[in-house]
């Protein structure tokens, strides 16, 4: 009975090791490292099996080596490597009948596993579990057979139970866990791929939708200009409108390019107060038409490193979005302050606010709180520009009360000291 308890303890260590590696995969989020971790599991498990082997007497040492040998041989295809390690370690215990029987069994099944592995991996997950369990049982028949031939004294029940029940059971449990993990990794990959395809589809829809309108208008005015009876003034008017529509189409394309990769072309020191005031002055006509008041509270002079044009584009998009959220007018408050390590820009509006679900999706491709009338490009571009300038964004919002955007940019070392 001691052998059985000892082997169950050993098996529990192998399962714990496997779960630790699974946790590591989850934290690292690196799916490509799975095969490397499987090799590590096989080799470390093999070492654990030898460390916790049960020495019945001088000529008889029992262990669970066939479990990692089977898993590593079939799932990872390293049967010959595992076999060499097993033979080397077994040789350290002494060159005896047990050593030669180990060489015969391990060499034979190392080659079998090596040849089987590619075929094995093409089977369904249920078939793989059954095959691995069955192969472990077959391999363990031979040590039992050699024990009977050698007529060495041994506890019959414990040896049979350990070799023909515990080890196949251990392989079945570990194989099932591996299959579940592989399935979850596959589903994760599939989910990521599906989301990417969905983003591409929505972006294509956005491009089509946003560019079609100005191009349709431009085509219409080109057709009008083909009328030979129109006056010079009308022709100039049509040309002006045509240019405006084409500029709108170009702006949409530029927004998509900026979303893909923000153009931080020129890094220079920016006076945040001065640049924000420029943005406010630019948007004042729109704010007045929308009955929106823009208040500024520049509590300190702040300098950050970045691209001036990108900085303007970012905050024009954010403030313009705030203005458009206040259909019946309201107030936008812009504050600038500094903490010990960061410069903070806070933009607060009294608009309609957003729900927690809307906040969660804010900044995602083609997500807009304006419904069909918006593409979400402005917010996406703003988020990407802030990230490119090594800043962060936090958003708080309450339906019916308004939204607060807080931008944090790291101070330069000279500013901190």
Q: What pLDDT, on a 0 to 100 scale, did the predictor assign at position 395?
A: 92
| CA–CA distance, 331 with 334 (Å, rounded to integer) | 10
Determine the distance from the C-alpha atom of residue 180 to the mean position of all C-alpha atoms in its chain, rounded to a whole number: 19
Q: How far apart are CA 329 and CA 32, in angstroms?
A: 53
Could you tell me the two tokens for 98? 């047990």
Write down all domains in the chain, each with its CATH number in brackets.
2-193 (1.10.1760), 206-260 (1.10.287.130), 268-416 (3.30.565.10)
| CB 154, CB 59: distance < 8 Å | no
| Of 69-83, 148-162, 350-364, highest mean pLDDT | 69-83
The pLDDT tens digits for 245-273 are 787 777 667 766 665 555 566 788 899 99
CA 56, 60, 61, 63 torsion: positive or negative? Answer: negative
- Which token pair is 170? 């251990």
Sign of the Cα pseudo-torsion (179, 112, 88, 98, in order): positive
In this structure, the number of other CB atoms found within 10 A of the CB of residue 306 comes to 23
Q: Contact, 165 vs 140, CB < 8 A?
A: no
Long-range contacts, 205-208 (Cβ 8 Å, 24+): 205/366, 206/256, 206/366, 206/375, 206/377, 207/252, 207/253, 207/256
Q: What's the pTM?
A: 0.53
Question: Could you read off the pLDDT of 227-242 as tens digits, one per residue?
Answer: 777 787 887 887 887 7
pLDDT tens digits, one per residue of 341-356:
889 999 999 988 888 8
């Amino acid at each position: 009975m001691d052998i059985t308890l000892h082997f169950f303890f050993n098996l529990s260590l192998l399962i714990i090791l496997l779960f630790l590696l699974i946790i590591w995969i989850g934290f690292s989020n690196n799916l490509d490292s799975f095969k490397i971790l499987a090799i590590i599991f096989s080799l470390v498990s093999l070492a654990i099996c030898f460390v916790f082997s049960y020495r019945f007497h001088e000529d008889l040492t029992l262990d669970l080596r066939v479990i990692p040998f089977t898993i590593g041989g079939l799932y990872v295809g390293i049967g010959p490597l595992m076999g060499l390690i097993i033979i080397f370690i077994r040789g350290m215990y002494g060159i005896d009948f047990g050593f030669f029987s180990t060489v015969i069994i391990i060499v034979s099944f190392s080659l079998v596993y090596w040849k089987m592995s590619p075929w094995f991996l093409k089977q369904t997950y249920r078939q793989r579990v059954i095959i691995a369990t069955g192969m472990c049982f077959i391999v363990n028949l031979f040590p039992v057979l050699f024990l009977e031939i050698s007529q060495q004294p041994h506890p019959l029940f414990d040896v049979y139970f350990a070799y023909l029940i515990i080890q196949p059971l251990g392989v079945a449990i570990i194989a099932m866990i591996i299959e579940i993990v592989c399935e979850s990794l596959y589903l994760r990959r599939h989910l990521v791929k599906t989301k990417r395809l969905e983003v591409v589809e929505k972006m294509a829809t956005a491009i089509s939708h946003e560019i079609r309108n100005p191009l349709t208008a431009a085509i219409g005015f080109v057709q009008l200009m083909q009328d030979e009876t129109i006056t010079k003034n009308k022709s100039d008017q049509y040309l002006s409108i045509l240019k405006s529509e084409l500029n709108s189409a170009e702006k949409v394309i530029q927004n998509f390019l900026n979303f893909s990769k923000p153009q931080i072309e020129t890094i220079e020191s920016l006076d945040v107060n001065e640049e924000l005031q420029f943005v406010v002055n630019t948007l004042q006509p729109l704010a007045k038409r929308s009955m929106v008041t823009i208040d500024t509270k520049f509590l300190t002079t702040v300098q950050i490193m970045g691209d001036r044009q990108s900085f303007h584009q970012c905050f024009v998009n954010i403030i313009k979005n705030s203005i458009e959220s206040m259909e019946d007018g309201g107030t936008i408050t812009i504050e600038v302050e500094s903490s010990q390590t960061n410069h903070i820009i806070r933009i607060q509006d009294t608009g309609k606010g957003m729900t927690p679900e809307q906040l969660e999706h804010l900044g995602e491709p083609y997500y807009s709180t304006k419904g069909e009338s918006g593409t979400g490009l402005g917010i996406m571009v703003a988020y990407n520009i802030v990230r490119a300038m090594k800043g962060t964004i936090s958003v708080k919002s309450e339906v019916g009360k308004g939204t607060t955007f807080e931008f944090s940019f790291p101070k330069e070392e000279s500013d901190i000291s």
